[in-house]
Amino acid sequence: MVDEKLAKELIQLANADRLLREDLAQKSALGKGYHPKMEAVHRANAKRLCEIIDKIGYPGISKVGEEASEAAWLIVQHAVSEPLFMQNCYQLMTMEKKDINLAHIAYLYDRIQCFKGKPQRFGTQLTADGGIYPVENKEDLNKLRLGMNLPQLTKRKLETVYHVDELKILDQRDPDYTIWRKKVGWI
C-alpha cells in the first residue's frame, strides 16, 4: 500500500531542489563550483531520505508510488557530498530492483563510478564537452542499456565515448573538482 504522506513529502523535497536549481540558474550562479545553497538542500534532503529509509526501507514504487520513487532517486542522485549515502542507496535499490525503475539504478551506478574516477557501465554520464564519460565495455553498451530500460545510443553518439585510458586526463581537467572529491570522500 502506498504511503501517501511520505510520497507527498518526497515529491516536495525533490521540487524544492528543482526550484532552487532553476533560481540559481536564472541568476547565473551555477557552474562555478558546488553552490553552497544547493549543497545545503542536497544534504538536508539526503538526511530526510535517510530517516525515511530507516522507517520503510528504500522508497520503491509499491511503497510511495512511481512519482515519489522518482523523487527519492533524484534526491539520491543529487546527494553528491554524501558518498556513503549514495552507495548505500545503490545497494538497497539493487536488492529491491523489482520495485525500482531500472534506469534509476543504472544512472546511480554510473554517477558513483564517475565520482570515483572509474569507468561507468551504462553510458549515462557526460563530460563537460558533451562526450560520454568512459565506459567499461563499449561493444556491449547498447545491450546493457536496453536491459536497464535506457534507450540505445546512436552510432554517432557512441563515437563520443571517451576511452578508458583517458580517465586520468578527464579527471585532471578541473583541479577544484578533484580537490572536492577528495574532501568529501569519493577518492
Residue 31 pLDDT > 90: no
DSSP state of 59: -
38 in any annotated domain: yes
pLDDT digits 0-9 by tens, 143-185: 999 999 999 999 999 999 999 999 989 888 889 889 999 999 9
Enclosing domain of residue 29: 1-100
Question: Per the domain annotation, does 180 fall within a domain?
Answer: no
Let me know: does 107 contact 152? Beta carbons within 8 Å: no
Which grid cell is 154?
546512436
Dump pLDDT digits (tens) for 97-127: 999 999 999 999 999 999 999 999 999 999 9
Residue 93 lies in a domain: yes
Domain assignment present for residue 40? The answer is yes
**How many domains does the chain divide into?**
1
Tell me whether residue 121 is in a domain.
Answer: no
pLDDT at 174: 87
- Give the pLDDT score at 23: 97
Q: What percent of the chain stands above pLDDT 70?
A: 100
Q: Which of 48, 52, 69 is nearest to 60 (CA)?
A: 69
pLDDT of 32 reads 78
Distance separating alpha carbons of residues 80 and 186, to the nearest angstrom: 9
Give 159's DSSP letter.
T
3-state secondary structure of 3: coil
Average pLDDT, the chain: 96
